[in-house]
C-alpha cells in the first residue's frame, strides 16, 4: 500500500536519500495515514523520517533538513491520499452537464478543502466536518475559497441538493472568528438567489467584512437549461444591472467600514448589462481573476499599455484571433486602435467561436473546445494565421474536448493555417512581429 511517488525533484533531499519515482511512501514521521498538509508540515521540520517501499523491499530514511533544498517528493495525487469528492447535487452543476466521451478526469467533482489551500479551488464546505474546520484553523489555512451562493439555509440547500448546505453561516463564522480569511463566490441563478436574496446575503457578508478578502458574483453558466427551479432563466440586461447596482451599494458600505470595496461583479455581468467594465482599482488585488472577475479590464489595460509603448514601428501583419462571445464584445475596439497606432500595418480580426459544446450562452474563451474553434475557422474562411487564447488549454496542453495543442497544430497546418497561442496582450503583440518575420 502506501502512497505512490510520481516524481522526485532533481537536487532535492529525497533524491539524495535514494528515493525514486515508482516507490511508495508507507509512513511519514511514523504516520501511515497522512495527506498533503501533513507532508507540507513535515517539510518544515529539521528531521523527516520516511518509511518507503520498492518492489517489496521496505526501508527507512531520515532526511536532515537544513532548508537549502526541498524535500522534493511529488505524489500521484495532489492531496497525497484520495481527493475528496463533492457530495452536492447542484441544479446548475456544470460537470453534470458535460457531454459524454471526454477525458475521465473531467467528470470528477472534487470538493476538498485541501485543494483550496494548495490549488486555489473553490469548495462548498458541505462535506467539511467539525474536525476539518478545526484543522483549517489549527494549521492557519488562510484564505479559504468558498462557493457560498447565498446565506439563506433553505435556498442554499435547495440550490445545492444537500441539506448540509444550510450550515454555511455557522461554518463561515467559526472560521472568521478564528482569524481565517475567505474568498467568496456567489453563483447567481436569476430568480433564485439574486434580488432580495442577494441583498440579504451581501448584507450578512458586510457584517463579516474584515474576514472577507474578496467576494464575487458570477452568473450561472448553463449549457442546457434544466428548467428545474427556473434554472434555465438567463440574466437579462436589466437583471444583470440590478446585480451590479446591489454590489455597488454594498461596495460603498464596505469601503466605509474598512476602506476596501471587496464585493465585485464578474465581467459577464458587465457584458450582459452592456456597461463599460470598471476601472482597475475596482478589482483591488484581482483575487478572483480566474473566476472571470477583472480578466477583461486586465486585458484592455495591458493592450493599451502595449499600444502606448510600441518600442519600434510595427511590421505588416494580419491575423485572426479566436475568442468566445465575451471577448468578441470588446476586442474589436482594441484591434481598431492597434490598426491606427501601427499606421495601418497590423490588422487583427476576431473569430467569434460559438460554444456548441457546452451551450451557446457560454461565452468565456477558457471554455472553448477545439471542435468549435475549427467550425468557426471554417466558417470565417481566408484565415492564414490564427491565434487562440492559452487558457483554452489545460496545464498539460490539452483542449477540453481532448486533443492536444500538437494535434491542433497538425490539423490547422493541413488547412494551410499557422496556429499560435497567446496568454496576454504582450504575447499577442510579439506574435504580430513574428508573423511578419
Ligand atoms: S459543488 Fe455543485 S457545481 Fe460544484 S461540482 Fe459539486 S455539484 Fe457540481
**Segment 393-409, tens digit of pLDDT:** 998 899 988 899 999 99
C-alpha cell at 330: 470588446
Q: Dihedral (C-alpha) 60, 63, 64, 67: value to the nearest 10 degrees?
A: -170
206: left (phi over 0), alpha (psi -120 to 50) or beta: alpha
Query: How many angstroms is it from 94 CA to the middle of ligand 1?
Result: 7
Q: Dihedral (C-alpha) 350, 300, 212, 183: value to the nearest 10 degrees?
A: 30
Does 93 contact ligand 1 (Cβ within 6 A)? Answer: yes
Residue nearest to atom 1 of ligand 1 (CA): 88
Residue 434 has phi, psi (to 5 degrees) of -70, -40
C-alpha cell at 281: 482599482
**Among 88, 162, 165, residue to substitute to test ligand 1 (most atoms within 8 Å of Cβ):** 88
DSSP 395-432: TTSBBTTS-BHHHHHHHHHHTT-EEEEESSHHHHHHHH
Residue range 360-364: mean pLDDT, rounded: 81
Query: How many angstroms is it from 37 CA to the middle of ligand 1?
Result: 24
DSSP structure class, residue 261: -
In this predicted model, which residue has the larger pLDDT, 104 or 51? 51
Domains of the chain with CATH codes: 3-75 (2.30.42.10), 95-293 (3.80.30), 298-436 (3.40.50)
Beta bridge mates, 398: 404
Alpha-carbon distance of 203 to 164, in angstroms, equals: 22
Query: How many angstroms is it from 355 CA to the middle of ligand 1?
Result: 21
Which ligand 1 atom is nearest residue 124's CA?
Answer: 1
pLDDT digits (tens, 9 = 90+) for 368-389: 999 999 999 999 988 999 999 9
Residue 105 has phi, psi (to 5 degrees) of -60, -25
Alpha-carbon distance of 272 to 269, in angstroms, equals: 5
Residue range 13-21: mean pLDDT, rounded: 96
CB atoms within 10 A of CB 6: 12
Which ligand 1 atom is nearest residue 147's CA?
Answer: 1
C-alpha cell at 390: 492559452
Does 109 contact ligand 1 (Cβ within 6 A)? Answer: yes
pTM given for the model:
0.90
Amino acid at each position: 500500500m502506501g502512497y505512490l511517488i510520481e516524481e522526485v525533484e532533481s537536487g532535492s533531499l529525497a533524491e539524495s536519500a535514494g528515493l525514486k519515482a515508482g516507490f511508495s511512501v508507507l509512513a511519514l514521521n511514523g504516520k501511515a495515514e497522512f495527506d498533503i498538509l501533513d507532508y507540507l508540515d513535515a517539510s518544515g521540520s529539521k528531521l523527516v523520517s520516511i518509511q518507503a517501499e520498492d518492489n517489496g523491499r521496505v526501508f527507512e530514511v531520515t532526511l536532515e533538513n537544513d532548508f537549502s533544498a526541498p524535500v522534493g517528493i511529488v505524489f500521484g495525487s495532489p492531496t497525497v491520499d484520495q481527493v475528496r469528492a463533492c457530495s452536492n447535487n447542484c441544479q446548475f452543476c456544470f460537470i453534470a452537464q458535460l457531454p459524454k466521451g471526454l477525458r475521465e478526469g473531467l467528470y470528477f467533482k472534487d470538493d476538498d478543502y485541501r485543494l483550496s489551500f494548495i490549488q486555489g479551488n473553490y469548495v462548498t464546505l458541505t462535506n467539511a466536518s467539525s474536525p476539518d474546520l478545526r484543522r483549517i484553523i489549527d494549521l492557519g489555512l488562510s484564505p479559504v475559497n468558498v462557493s457560498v451562493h447565498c446565506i439563506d439555509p433553505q435556498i442554499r440547500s435547495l440550490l445545492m441538493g444537500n441539506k448540509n448546505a444550510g450550515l454555511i453561516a455557522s461554518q463561515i463564522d467559526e472560521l472568521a472568528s478564528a482569524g481565517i480569511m475567505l474568498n467568496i463566490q456567489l453563483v447567481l441563478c436569476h430568480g433564485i438567489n439574486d434580488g432580495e436574496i442577494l441583498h440579504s446575503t451581501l448584507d450578512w457578508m458586510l457584517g463579516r467584512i474584515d474576514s472577507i478578502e474578496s467576494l464575487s458574483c458570477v452568473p450561472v453558466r448553463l449549457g442546457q437549461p434544466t428548467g428545474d427551479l427556473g434554472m434555465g432563466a438567463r440574466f437579462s440586461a436589466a437583471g444583470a444591472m440590478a446585480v451590479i447596482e446591489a454590489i455597488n451599494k454594498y461596495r460603498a458600505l464596505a469601503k466605509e467600514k474598512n476602506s476596501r470595496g471587496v464585493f465585485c461583479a464578474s465581467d459577464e455581468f458587465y457584458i450582459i448589462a452592456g456597461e463599460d467594465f470598471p476601472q482597475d482599482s475596482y478589482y483591488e488585488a484581482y483575487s478572483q481573476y480566474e473566476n472571470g472577475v477583472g480578466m477583461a479590464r486586465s486585458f484592455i489595460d495591458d493592450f493599451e499599455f502595449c499600444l502606448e509603448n510600441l518600442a519600434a514601428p510595427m511590421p505588416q501583419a494580419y491575423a485572426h484571433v479566436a475568442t468566445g462571445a465575451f471577448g468578441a464584445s470588446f476586442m474589436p475596439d482594441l484591434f481598431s486602435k492597434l490598426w491606427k497606432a501601427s499606421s495601418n500595418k497590423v490588422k487583427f480580426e476576431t473569430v467569434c467561436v460559438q460554444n456548441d459544446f457546452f451551450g451557446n450562452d457560454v461565452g468565456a474563451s477558457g471554455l472553448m473546445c477545439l471542435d468549435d474553434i475549427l467550425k468557426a475557422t471554417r466558417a470565417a474562411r481566408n484565415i492564414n494565421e490564427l491565434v487562440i487564447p492559452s487558457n483554452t488549454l489545460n496545464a498539460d496542453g490539452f483542449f477540453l474536448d481532448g486533443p492536444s495543442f500538437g494535434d491542433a497544430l497538425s490539423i490547422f497546418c493541413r488547412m494551410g493555417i499557422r496556429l499560435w497561442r497567446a496568454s496576454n496582450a504582450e504575447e499577442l503583440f510579439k506574435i504580430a512581429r513574428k508573423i511578419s518575420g
